[in-house]
Amino acid sequence: MDEPIRQFIAELRQCLEAGTFVKLTLGNYKGDDESLQKIVARPVKTKKGHRILFQYRSRTNDRVENFEAGEAVSKIEGYLRSGFRTGHLFTTAKDFQLLIGKRSAKLTAAKPSHSAVKIAPHDREKNYLVDRHAYYLKALGITTDSGQIRNEARDKWKQINKFVEILGRLYDSSDLKDKPDLNIVDMGSGKGYLTFATYDYFLHRSSPPYEGGVAEALGGRGGSLATELDVTGVESRPYLVELCNQIARAGGYDGLKFVPSNIAEFEAEQIDILIALHACDTATDDALFKGISANASIIIAAPCCHHEIKGQMRVPELLAGILKHPVMHERTAETITDGLRSLLLEREGYKTKLFEFVSTEHTPKNNMLVATRTNRQPERENIQRQIDGLKIEFGLESQRLDALLSSRPS
Ligand SMILES: C[S@@+](CC[C@H](N)C(=O)[O-])C[C@H]1O[C@@H](n2cnc3c(N)ncnc32)[C@H](O)[C@@H]1O
């Protein structure tokens, strides 16, 4: 069992010393980290010299870290002994494949699939998924004529990229991958930053219009391109709808449109992916309800302005000494609201995740709730007990999503 791993590590050390290291990937992860999927390591040149860049690919995001060669070798060895079942090492001399089974491991060598080592500069700009030369970014004032990110738009730029990264991950692990048509609705689209980015991402998924980027480093965005892409932004403010439609027309973005409508009144025939970022207060619930009713495969929301629960929350005696502080009261109301939404989604057959979307340094509204439809029967009774318990404990009379779901004809 140990010998093939030792040999694989020896080959890695040797190719790093000889300067023939091209790339290494670790996959088929079976370890303790629930979201980790894959690690890709490749050489990069940083200000401090040559390093090995590790890209940690997980279900909801990507993270990168640089290591010196020796440290990188120890890390790889550790990962191979703690859950990764496959390792592929690409050198200009040979390719190596390591397969680790329950009781034994096997190392095989093959002809090299790379003839040269590419050392990328560790340019942060290049690690973005969004094409900064896209027309809509310029039209919305994110970039300059030459494609540079405006200083004042850096936070928005980061947010858009993070969002697209999360969206891509969810799509990759969903049943939508092989669907020939894709219907996406962005509720409360505002100035359309995310709607345009979503459209552009899916339009160019299989053939990015630019070089570099996380996608390329991870072996291309992969997957098939939906032949019919229909993206709709729903927004109550008509002047924003007009602005976005003008940009969509000027950019030649067929299949992308913005409609003036209240979320609750918007009727969609089909929704595969529902997006609702920072739709205020209970508009998030209206959007989630539309997604659930349309049986959307993926729902992504970043709730904000949690007024509904805050206004009616009764403080349990046990928490009185803590929730007397307005900031704690407010955060608890947010937690209860989003927690209830996540439980309701689970009761309706979704798998959910709540996490920090981007750091608070970039936006104070940073909680993200993602839901993916599963084929498994939800434990409805158990979930309902938790929902009822929360409602009783905090004296909640009504929560919008709960009420909408209850009002459906049975
Ligand atoms: C804070 S902005 C967020 C825009 C965009 N989703 C983003 O994250 O960049 C929220 C937008 O939702 C719109 N909105 C809020 N409630 C809505 C509703 N019930 N129906 C339609 N649009 C709504 C607002 O007009 C506003 O443009």
The 10s digit of each residue's pLDDT in 135-189 is 999 999 999 887 888 989 988 998 999 999 999 999 988 989 888 899 999 999 9
pLDDT of 206 > 80? The answer is: no
How far, CA to CA in Å, does 276 sit from each of 42, 59, 195, 287, 327? 36, 20, 10, 6, 25
Ligand 1 probe mutation, 163, 189, 242, most atoms within 8 A of CB: 189
Cβ partners under 8 Å of residue 81, min gap 6: 5
Whether ligand 1 lies within 6 angstroms of the CB of 263 is answered as: yes
Distance CA 379, CA 382 (A): 6
**Mean pLDDT of the 266-273 span:** 93
- DSSP-derived 3-state class of residue 232: strand
Distance CA 186, CA 213 (A): 25
C-alpha 148 – ligand 1 centre gap (Å)? 27
Q: What pLDDT does residue 83 have?
A: 92
Distance CA 161, CA 152 (A): 16
pLDDT of 401 > 90? The answer is: yes
Identify the band that residue 216 occupies on the pLDDT scale cut at 50, 70 and 90: very low
Report yes or no: 136 and 252 within 8 Å, Cβ to Cβ.
no
Nearest to 25 by CA among 62, 80, 71: 80
Report yes or no: 401 and 344 within 8 Å, Cβ to Cβ.
yes
Distance CA 293, CA 301 (A): 16
Hey, what long-range contacts does 95-100 have (CB within 8 A, 24 or more apart)?
A: 96/8, 96/11, 98/4, 98/5, 98/8, 100/1, 100/4, 100/5
Across 249-297, the runs of DSSP E, i.e. the strands, are: 256-260, 273-280
Q: How does pLDDT run across 383-393, given as a tens digit for each residue? A: 999 999 999 99
The mean-pLDDT minimum among 192-206, 210-224, 235-249, 268-282 falls in 210-224
What sections of 232-365 are H helices per DSSP? 238-250, 283-293, 307-310, 320-323, 326-347
C-alpha 343 – ligand 1 centre gap (Å)? 24
Distance CA 309, CA 399 (A): 7
Q: What pLDDT does residue 305 have?
A: 80
C-alpha 219 – ligand 1 centre gap (Å)? 35
Mean pLDDT of the chain: 88
Ligand 1 probe mutation, 278, 363, 404, most atoms within 8 A of CB: 278
Q: What pLDDT does residue 122 have?
A: 59
Torsion of CA 31, 32, 35, 40, to 10 degrees: -40
Whether ligand 1 lies within 6 angstroms of the CB of 53 is answered as: no
Distance CA 128, CA 211 (A): 11
C-alpha 364 – ligand 1 centre gap (Å)? 16
Q: How does pLDDT run across 237-258, given as a tens digit for each residue? A: 999 999 999 999 998 999 999 9
Whether ligand 1 lies within 6 angstroms of the CB of 159 is answered as: no
Distance CA 135, CA 139 (A): 6
Separation of CA 187 from chain center = 18
Q: What pLDDT does residue 127 have?
A: 61
Nearest to 291 by CA among 308, 306, 278, 276: 276
